[in-house]
A and B are shown apart, each in its own frame.
Chain A
Amino acid sequence: MFGDESHLPYDRPPLTKDFLLGKVEQAQLTFSDVQTYDTLNIHYHHATRIVAIDRHQRSITTDRNEVYEYDKLLLATGSRPRRLPEMEDARAIYLRTVDDAARLRSVLEPGRSIGIIGAGFVGLEVAAAARDRGCAVCVIEAAPSVLSRGLPPLVSNAIQRLHLSRGVEIVCGQTAKAIEWTRRGPINIELSHRSFSADAVVVGVGVIPNTELAAAAGLEVDNGIVVDCHLQTADPSIFAAGEVTKHPVGKGGALLRLESWNVAHKQPLVAAACMTGHDLVYDEIPWLWSDQFGQNLQILGDVADSQDFLLRGHLDSEQWTLIALNSATEPTGAIAFNSGRDISMMRRILKSGGNLPLDVISSSRPVSAMVPVC
């Protein structure tokens, strides 16, 4: 096993949440200790980058020019933060690794001002953690609303209200006109209506899959390493797993690349089984969660294309669920706020292809994706 970070493999979800709040420490994030890897006969080469795959020789070359042969190869190269040209200063914080998170944590002191570029999950989770640490926070988002990618305006509005109620400033529909990076001291972010003076700037504007190695080896890459339901590439000796894959999803088998813990957790299990001669299929329903201000948002299945939803609860309350319907009014997914039990229920319904229970239908009301409901 080769990894380009100097640490043993670790859990990433807390990096934007409990780790920033000081509730967990770096040592607690590590999955297994060195001894465990030894016991399992896993040789872990840390701080080692693979620079080439020779598919003909079935070998890989490290950045120290060492060559290792393989029978089967797994590419679990993940993603890296998308970088913005105007945010290339050394003081811009891009959050991906535990080192990035440790650097950010060190600046989240009470009374500090934090500028956040991008109101996706990473930006909003960092905003929540920074507010909880007593910082002033301004989130700047180019799109007209927060979480605009793949979520209906209903949900964006509800999450935006949550952040505003906790004192986060959100500026949507504009980008920073200019940023004055200083070596020390405040960083000045020029907005159209005012300027924001920040002690630190965090950039969370999406990720780019690390597909270069696969592409250079001639494997099919299309915004992700293309794999089949066994997580196998067109080369039968090479598999891929995690956030880097573009894999078939749902009944239609549409190829999607999903940025979530669930693929990072479940795909390797299927890939490992298939690499060792078993016949397993990855058919998990897409699922992700985000924790902000102690509130839990979960998204299951296909919600992006739905125009119609069933709403359980009230969107301005602390607990609600939106069930996404397709044009035939069949359930395709759900978005749940502090109602994980509904996600458990919907996962079972979606897996079995069954209908919604009558009591769920009768206790819900239809809403449109486009109309903000209060």
Chain B
Amino acid sequence: MPEDDNCKWVSVLSAEELPVGQMAGVEIDGRRIAIFNVKGAFYATDNICTHAFAVLSDGWFEENVIECPLHGGKFDVCSGRVLGEPVERDLQTYPTRLAGGEVQIALPSA
């Protein structure tokens, strides 16, 4: 997603709420989004698996990989890329930034 006028930055949580190796699920504008802390860097993806309806933040998060709780599909949370079957479609990712101790993500403004 381009970081331009077509997106808006939204604060989702304070950075200190999410230590390294932790994740959190948030809901913004009806979108369910997962926020991950990978070695101090924050990443955001859709929080619903692309394979079946499952909340990824109920799964197992290790280093940069989220494992879906339902059928064990794996994604790289930094890129959204599929790492393991049965998943076939990548996850939508969102740009993130830190602003005044807040983690912000960029959502399409449309």
Contacts and interface: CB of A to CB of B under 8 A. Distances in A.
A291 B53 CA distance: 11
B86 A344 contact: no
A296 B67 contact: no
A18 B51 CA distance: 11
A111 to B, nearest CB: 27
B103 to A, nearest CB: 23
Contact of A289 (B58, B60, B71, B85): B71
A133 B59 CA distance: 29
A51 interface: no
Nearest to A265: B85
A186 interface: no
A340 interface: yes
A340 B70 contact: yes
A340 B86 contact: no
A273 interface: no
A339 B55 CA distance: 11
Given A287-B72, A289-B71, A296-B70, A340 B85 contact: no
A13 B60 CA distance: 23
B108 to A, nearest CB: 26
Contact of B60 (A18, A261, A265, A341): A341
A88 interface: no
A357 to B, nearest CB: 13
Contacts of B54: 296, 340
A11 interface: yes
B68 interface: yes
A84 interface: no
A340 B61 CA distance: 12
A345 interface: yes
B95 interface: no
Contacts of A341: 58-60, 69
A344 B59 contact: yes
Contacts of B68: 340
Chain A: interface size category: 10 to 19
Contacts of B70: 289, 291, 296, 340
Interface in B70-86: 70-72, 85-86
Contact of B86 (A265, A287, A339, A345): A265
A261 B59 contact: no
A132 to B, nearest CB: 14
B36 to A, nearest CB: 15
Contacts of B58: 340-341
A345 B54 CA distance: 17
B47 to A, nearest CB: 14
Contact of B59 (A13, A289, A340): A340
A344 B60 contact: yes
A26 to B, nearest CB: 16
Contacts of B59: 340-341, 344
A28 to B, nearest CB: 10
A261 B70 CA distance: 14
B71 A344 contact: no
Contacts of B71: 289
Interface of B: 52, 54, 58-60, 67-72, 85-86
Interface of A: 11, 13, 18, 261, 265, 287, 289, 291, 296, 339-341, 343-345
Given A291-B70, A340-B70, 15 more contacts: A18-B52, A265-B86, A289-B70, A289-B71, A291-B52, A296-B54, A296-B69, A340-B59, A340-B69, A341-B60, A343-B69, A344-B60, A344-B67, A344-B69, A345-B60
10 contacts: A261-B86, A265-B86, A296-B69, A340-B54, A340-B59, A340-B72, A341-B59, A343-B69, A344-B59, A344-B60
